[in-house]
């Protein structure tokens, strides 16, 4: 079924709800989970300014990876820096590069219209993905 899952995390409560879903899917298929976090940065005249500390991003990924491992799921983590506003494209690119069978992520639960107007990452991933996307609400 799903031999490789990409679990997109951002440290929010909504993303946290996707972790048990990834555990369940990985257990059922004896698959591996790639915990993926986009560390965004802002470009300005003076250079690039990270929106979160590199160590915080790595702690987040390491914590989720350890949580999955404690549940008996094979997991590894990746943190990648990207320009702010490009999280959806980064998730899709990583899923394709890793050969992910599915993407698992959280969602704030906005309506389709609100997601369209506000640019929800989950909405963009769903619209552009070539593999199944499982969204935990």
Q: Count other C-beta atoms under 10 Å from residue 106's C-beta.
A: 23
Q: Over 80: is that where the pLDDT of 115 sits?
A: no
- Which residue reads 């899952």 in tokens? 5
Least confident of 63-67, 100-104, 120-124, 125-129: 120-124
12 or 46: which leads in pLDDT: 12
How many independent structural domains does the chain possess? 1
Specify the pLDDT at position 51. Answer: 79
Specify the pLDDT at position 112. Answer: 54
Q: What is the mean pLDDT of the segment spanning 116-129?
A: 79
Domain enclosing residue 55, as ranges: 4-136
CA of 98: how far to CAs of 14, 64, 78, 81, 131, in Å? 24, 19, 11, 17, 12
pLDDT band with cut points at 50, 70 and 90 for residue 117: very low
Rounded to 5 degrees, what angle do the CA atoms 78, 137, 118 make? 80
For residue range 49-102, what is the model confidence (pLDDT) as tens digits?
Answer: 877 888 999 999 999 999 999 999 999 999 999 998 899 999 999 999 999 999
Q: Tell me the CATH number at 125.
A: 3.40.50.620
For residue range 23-59, what is the model confidence (pLDDT) as tens digits?
Answer: 999 999 999 999 999 999 888 888 788 778 889 999 9
């Amino acid at each position: 079924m799903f031999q490789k899952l990409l679990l997109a995390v951002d440290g929010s409560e909504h993303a946290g709800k996707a972790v048990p879903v990834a555990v369940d899917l990985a257990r059922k298929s004896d698959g591996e989970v790639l915990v993926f976090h986009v560390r965004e940065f802002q470009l300005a005249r003076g250079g690039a300014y990270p929106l979160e500390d590199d160590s915080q991003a790595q702690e987040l990924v390491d914590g989720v990876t350890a949580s999955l491992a404690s549940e008996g799921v094979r997991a590894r983590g990746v943190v990648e820096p990207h320009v702010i506003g490009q999280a959806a494209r980064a998730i899709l690119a990583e899923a394709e590069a890793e050969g992910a069978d599915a993407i698992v992520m959280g969602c704030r639960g906005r309506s389709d219209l609100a997601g369209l107007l506000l640019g929800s990452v989950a909405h963009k991933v769903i619209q552009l993905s070539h593999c199944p996307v499982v969204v935990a609400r």
